[in-house]
Amino acid sequence: MLDTLCLITGPRTGANHLMQLGGNLAELKTFPELFNSLAERIEPDHVLDQAVEAARAEHKRVLAFKLWHDTLEPETVEQLVLSRPGVRVIFVVRRQIDAYVSWCKAISVHKWQEVDTSAVRVRLDIADFAAWMDAQERWYDRWRNWLNRRFLPCPILRYETDIDLPPEGALRRFAAAAAQVGVTLRVPATLTATGLIKQDRIKAAADKVDNWPAFSKALVAEGLEKRAFGYPV
């Protein structure tokens, strides 16, 4: 059995940045895209078995991977992933409006990394955003309830306070979350990997969206403002 960290997360939350930073940890092997190209005929538990073998071959004692709401069917996640011995869960979240805008920007340029999207402005659709939030909230809520029923810890890393930091700080927050689920990760004094470069340097969502005045009014009219500027869990 290998200690395994499953990051329950969504698009544009900084989870991949954490995975990259994980390369600094002698004990950890990360698999950012473990299930992304999963063929239907290959069972997820077999994929995890292969990841365990790869981690052991590199003399690692901890592996980490992420799951989005549409990566695998929830029943598959429960039966073949989270129920495996040694699997612990950490939530990674971001303010919903910021994650959504970042996602829309990345889609518009068809690039998820290594492209500066600061100058890109997008037009948002209120119905699409509401559906996005619904999907994210259902995803996190399902696993929070699953953990609570089993009296298991549910540490949460938030992009704004735990990830959008200097690399050393983000890595220490990650190690602290791992410690909450019983996994010890030692952060080295010097980092060799600094993670991903932020694609978007613009801070405020209003400065990234062409139709922000109309979209903002629609948020209020639909009663979505609190959810939009909050977290999915």
Residue range 155-189, pLDDT digits in tens? 999 999 999 999 999 999 999 999 999 999 999 99
**CA 169, 111, 31: angle at the middle one, nearest 5?**
50
| 3-class state of residue 20 by DSSP | helix
| Residue 91, strand partner residues | 8, 156
| 3-class state of residue 219 by DSSP | helix
Q: Check: pTM over 0.85? Answer yes or no.
A: yes
Please classify residue 203 by burial: count the beta carbons closer than 10 Å to its beta carbon, then call 0-12 exposed, 13-18 middle and 19+ buried. exposed
Question: What's the confidence (pLDDT) of residue 73?
Answer: 86
Report the 3 state secondary structure along 116-157: CCCCCCECCCHHHHHHHHHHHHHHHHHHHHHHHHCCCCCCEE
Q: Which residues of the chain have pLDDT under 70?
A: 37-42, 110-115, 199-200, 202
Question: What's the confidence (pLDDT) of residue 40?
Answer: 52
Question: What's the confidence (pLDDT) of residue 87?
Answer: 95
Question: What's the confidence (pLDDT) of residue 111?
Answer: 62
Alpha-carbon span 50 to 102, nearest angstrom: 32
Alpha-carbon span 65 to 158, nearest angstrom: 17
| 3-class state of residue 209 by DSSP | strand
Strand runs (DSSP E) across the chain, as ranges?
Answer: 3-8, 28-31, 62-67, 87-93, 156-158
Only one residue has tokens 């969206």, namely: 209
Question: What's the confidence (pLDDT) of residue 198?
Answer: 75
List of residues 6+ apart from 121 with CB closer than 8 A: 208, 209, 210
